[in-house]
Structure 1
């Protein structure tokens, strides 16, 4: 075997890409560092100028005041219920629909799948009036159910799970049928575990969307005790004169982002696996 030769130009290119990646990471992290810095500063110091964020001292007073505010924890609970409920519902419905479209044969399968994909092209704003009237008739406004149900119709989730189920080799179905495996057990015990990377990816995207959603909770939740974190923090910002200052609002933003960061850290391995196409080996 001939010895491997190293080209200086290739090494320089790698170093350049590494430096570029580091610069992009710094740019991406700058807003996060800024908001964390604001949350650690005294509100009186920030009233003199936000450049005080670069100078000592720092304080945890804003987080102490946040913990003492029961209203924020109520908003946090609402966001958690909505995000978890919507994520679970989307995973269940998208997995079932994806398995049907990807592995089963039934009349008008292609036509129905195309109709589902049309949902990707319809903006939420186009149906907001009809949805508001329907939920008002059902009495679902200012309820957790009313905040969860609209997010369960995920055309992207159905498309993603359909593609992953189609990628599973047909031999697995044939082997299971030879063992007289019932259809639901085939789906639950054989097929579904193979799509774990896709489910993790879809679950994270759904959780992020539900947690950060502002449009529908702003319309449906009119009582303050039913606000989600996004609507609650926004209401504090619009009433800034009665709030406790910029540092306290920044502490609220950091507090609201923690679940998102934790979820991503726990499941980032599955996202990488799904994106790299390693769902089915």
Structure 2
């Protein structure tokens, strides 16, 4: 091996070591005290992302399940996921048109995604509102069915309302995106309870469409840190032995989830990790 090759090899090894050192330093800084927030979650907010990989991969990755205000427990439509209004998009740095037409909306949609901060609320007023709406839907549906007990459509609506309330009470995520912004200090001042509100980094996208001759525009957000949260090895055996939620014959797909409680901490870089993990109650 000549001098040049030896130096290239050493330089490559040095670069690898440097990159690893920077990554480890970033993890250490993120996990240094004080943490930005701590949330006491359960399987309702932390789904198992990659269970089908377990045969080839011993890792266990959890997925942070969050919702937008107003959507039903199983609402994955655009109306349930695109919730940043025009005013909020302007605050986040997007150029929001003042005249609504094809050209202005095309330019609005073509704007590049932007980084922003999202506020997550856990088991707070928004979740209570969701429970109340589900209960109101059931009450209204029950009254309508009582007036026309043989109506098939009303019977289906009533059963759907019962299932919605059951999901809200037992399995739907209680974690909601409540706000967005660009300044971390301002958001924390508005939401000071670090046991209820977590601030996370997100990727903001613009959307717009025309419906019934009226333009609708706003934004949606993705949380990259929510896609995969590693469960430390020391809890793998416990995870595999966890009890599962029992199904209810009256409510299809109501069982099967592993039951657990976990403390999720968001650190200096607003990146989450699991610090406590235990079996939940059936």
TM-score normalised per structure 2: 0.26
TM-score normalised per structure 1: 0.26
Structure 1 or 2, whichever has the larger Rg, is 1
When you count strand as a share of all residues, which structure comes out higher?
2
